[in-house]
Amino acid sequence: MFQTEIIKSIQSIASVPLTHFILIINELGTHEIIFIILVIIIFGADFKKGVFISNIVIWNYFAIELIKDYFALPRPADVDAGVKLIGSENASLSRVESFPVRGFFEKLPGEIVDQCRSVKNYPYGFPSGHTCSTVVLWGSTSILFQKRWIIAVTIALILMMPFSRLYLGKHFLIDVLGGLAAGAVIITFVFTMILKGEKKEKILSQAKMQIKVGKDQIFQLIYLLAVPCMVLIITRSDFAAQILGINLGFLLIGIQSYPDDCGKLPQRMGRIAIALLVFFATDYLVQQLLQYFTVRELRALKLAKTMLSFFIMIWGTTKLCLWFGFYKTGNSIRGCPANS
């Protein structure tokens, strides 16, 4: 599964129109585009489900980062001169002209792996983050929203994303298969072990949820705040800071009542636009303040900036949208009208 002949065969059908299409598919798996999709879900579709999906996706990022660092395997274009980096301006490492892997289950030679591991901040290949994140994002969205068009998009992207990564020369076959497997394991774990029975009904339901003191809420606080806080302290991961910021804003809003997701298209688009504006404005302003008051950028300050940006996006956007009338208020709803 480390053979490069498969990749070269796929790249042999390359054309300008196909490359443009593949690059569009590939962009749908980037952190930036997935972030925008999550904002659209949270503020344009369903607040509670969007926050839940965001948690799954960001924890997925954290897990993939750990797995990549553990296996520390190279990418095909960095070990075989015959593999092209289509659509990329990044230069590859010094590569071998005659790739030594011939058998389908044959492993990469140790000297090739060691060469890539010796490069500082090398972007390891296994498993494919694009592929795994696509499975997690769209799989979770399909399960929670249960819409036919979302299921169709999910199936299409799960099939096309691995192909795009092979076509662009970014991954071996084992990388994309590993991404599919990792995504499937994460989805299965979340929706069979964590979210089941009454917990699933609460997420799927449009009923209002309000934070009160109780056994379920104590467990919720541990999961939403204590776990990411502990991971943040131990690993100093940006992903843990993002989760902590999102969940803190989510819980503070829930002290009163979560917003009514109903609204016509202009209202939903307004909420999305405000969220993006709030996030990028907060991120920029905090960055400028840090540069003004500190001589050098400390890791702790960068993590604090990340957490604050995501917290204000969730909490601040909701407050602004309520103020502008983009959200309805009330403690219970029975479902959005068909024309909303």
Q: Which residues contact 299 (CB under 8 A, 6 or more apart)?
A: 236
Q: Which domain holds residue 23?
A: 1-204
pLDDT for residue 30 is more than 80: yes
Are 223 and 299 in the same domain? Answer: yes
Are 53 and 145 in the same domain? Answer: yes
155 is written with which tokens?
């199936």
Are 102 and 195 in the same domain? Answer: yes
Q: How far apart are CA 268 and CA 284, in angstroms?
A: 25
Provide the pLDDT for residue 255. Answer: 81
Peptide bond into 228 cis (omega under 30): no
Provide the pLDDT for residue 206. Answer: 44
Tell me the CA end-to-end span of the chain in Å, nearest whole number: 49
pLDDT for residue 86 is more than 80: yes
Provide the pLDDT for residue 101. Answer: 66
Tell me the backbone φ, ψ of residue 80, rounded to 5 degrees.
-140, 115
* Lowest-confidence segment of 148-157, 254-263, 315-324, 328-337 by average pLDDT: 328-337
Q: How far apart are CA 231 and CA 323, in angstroms?
A: 35
pLDDT for residue 200 is more than 70: no
Q: How far apart are CA 168 and CA 256, in angstroms?
A: 49
pLDDT for residue 335 is more than 60: no
Alpha helices in the chain (DSSP H): 5-11, 16-27, 31-40, 47-71, 110-117, 129-145, 148-167, 173-189, 198-204, 215-221, 227-235, 238-254, 265-293, 299-324
Are 219 and 194 in the same domain? Answer: no
- Cα distances (angstroms) measured from residue 215 to each of 193, 218, 220, 223: 19, 5, 9, 13
Provide the pLDDT for residue 194. Answer: 66
What single letter denotes the amino acid at residue 219?
F
pTM: 0.88
Q: How far apart are CA 45 and CA 262, in angstroms?
A: 8
Are 255 and 333 in the same domain? Answer: yes
Are 199 and 215 in the same domain? Answer: no
Q: Which residues contact 133 (CB under 8 A, 6 or more apart)?
A: 29, 34, 57, 60, 61, 64, 183
Are 31 and 177 in the same domain? Answer: yes
Catalogue the long-range contacts made by 101-106 (C-beta closer than 8 Å, 24 or more residues apart): 101/2, 101/3, 101/4, 102/3, 103/3, 104/1, 104/3, 105/1, 106/2, 106/3
Residue 29 near residue 136, CB atoms below 8 Å? no
Residue with more model confidence, 196 or 226: 226
Share of the chain above pLDDT 90, in %: 56
* Lowest-confidence segment of 5-19, 111-125, 168-182 by average pLDDT: 111-125
Burial of 159 (0-12, 13-18, 19+ CB in 10 A): exposed
Are 222 and 89 in the same domain? Answer: no
DSSP annotation of 124: -
Are 164 and 249 in the same domain? Answer: no
Confidence band (pLDDT; 50, 70, 90) for 281? very high
Instruction: For the beta carbon of residue 229, count every other beta carbon within 10 angstroms.
Output: 17
Mean pLDDT, rounded, of the chain: 85
Q: What is the mean pLDDT of residues 328-338?
A: 50
Provide the pLDDT for residue 97. Answer: 57
Query: pLDDT, tens digit, for every residue of 219-278?
Result: 667 778 888 999 999 999 999 999 999 999 998 888 877 888 888 899 999 999 999 999
Q: What is the mean pLDDT of residues 127-146?
A: 95
Provide the pLDDT for residue 117. Answer: 87
How many structural domains is the chain composed of? Answer: 2
CA dihedral 159, 19, 61, 248 (to 10 degrees): -100
Are 107 and 222 in the same domain? Answer: no
Are 169 and 258 in the same domain? Answer: no
